[in-house]
Structure 1
Amino acid sequence: VQDPKHAKKTARNQLHSGARLLVLGNNVMLYRHLLTLAQAKNHAIYIRDVVNVDKQDDGAAYRLFHSDVLEQMYQNELENNEMQSLFVYLFVLGDLFDSYLNRNIFHKERIIMAMRGYFFLNMWAEYIES
């Protein structure tokens, strides 16, 4: 990955890809989860971010990993057990990207965020391999 912005777009596009199934714990992350979020009454992402997407859209990647999406999921969709893995994915990766891109974070917090992402991705890779 070339830079954090590119990584953010790649992480967003993985959710749109049908070539890979993203498994986290007992759940999978599916395209329809994003569509459900975009079609909700108080949506934080737009339909255009989910349907006929521009894969290079920085704004769409920014909106997907924004805390407003996590808030929407927490308030409305998290009781749906299927969405828990998507919540974790968006939280941890959004935190990781924020640790690189946000200029208002102190060094200690930045290191904690980056290490959380590092350990999460390593544990997830080990889980998938086993």
Structure 2
Amino acid sequence: RDVIKADKQDDNAATRVFAAVSLKKLTENVEENMGLIVFLFIIGELVDAYESRSMTHGIRAKAALRARLFFSTWKLFLDKQGYPQARYYISPAADKIYDMLLDGLLGLILIHRDHLSSPSIPLLPWKHESMGNERIFAALRDLFADMSLAQAIFAIPNL
């Protein structure tokens, strides 16, 4: 199915990558998998900072700052040791995406703290993710196998 419709994503597979079971499996050979273990832990913690409904704002900020420190330290290490980032670092596009996620989460926390801090306006970072859009596109794909923009525009009021 994914070969025929290559634009489909398996969100459950992406979620399983950050599961405790995956990390536990990787720890069976820590020496060989140390970098991957740390990377998945940091990124998983960043995802949790957006999606968790019980995490405090301070812990969210720590997760974002930890991820920022991880990426900047990784790049600094590669530069100091003379390793090319093109080979040993994530892609420039992924790096920009992580920067936007980190800046976005920290910005949400700071703006909420400085301008919206009231009991009637809670900070709900999980509402700032793309899950709502993904559900709309999934519903549209159920209606139209290969939808066009015009079909999507006309179908939205009926969803």
Q: Compute the TM-score of the two structures, normalised by the length of structure 1.
A: 0.51
- Deviations, residues 55-107 of structure 1 (Å, cap 9, x unaligned): 72211111001222112223x232xx111111111111111121112222111
Structure 2 unaligned regions, length at least 5: 1-5, 81-159
Aligned position for 1:82: 32
Aligned position for 2:9: 56
- Deviations, residues 13-59 of structure 1 (Å, cap 9, x unaligned): xxxxxxxxxxxxxxxxxxxxxxxxxxxxxxxxxxxxxxxx9872211
Aligned position for 1:126: 76
How far residue 116 of structure 1 moved from its aligned partner, in angstroms, is 0.6
How far residue 120 of structure 1 moved from its aligned partner, in angstroms, is 0.5
CA separation in 2, counterparts of 1:70 and 1:55? 26
CA separation in 2, counterparts of 1:83 and 1:55? 29
CA separation in 2, counterparts of 1:92 and 1:126? 17
Aligned position for 1:97: 47
CA separation in 1, counterparts of 2:72 and 2:8? 26
Amino acid at match of 1:62: T
CA separation in 1, counterparts of 2:41 and 2:13? 16
Amino acid at match of 1:77: N
Structure 1 unaligned regions, length at least 5: 1-52
Amino acid at match of 1:72: K
Aligned position for 1:70: 23
Count of paired positions: 75
CA separation in 2, counterparts of 1:124 and 1:56? 29
Q: Which has the higher contact order (CA 8 A, sep 6+)?
A: 1
Q: Compute the TM-score of the two structures, normalised by the length of structure 2.
A: 0.42
Amino acid at match of 1:100: Y
* Counterparts in 2 of 1:56 and 1:128: CA distance versus 1, 3 Å: farther
Structure 1 residue 110 corresponds to structure 2 residue 63 = no
Question: Where is the strand percentage greater, Structure 1 or Structure 2?
Answer: 1
Larger radius of gyration: 2
CA RMSD of aligned residues (A): 2.1
Q: Percent identity?
A: 35
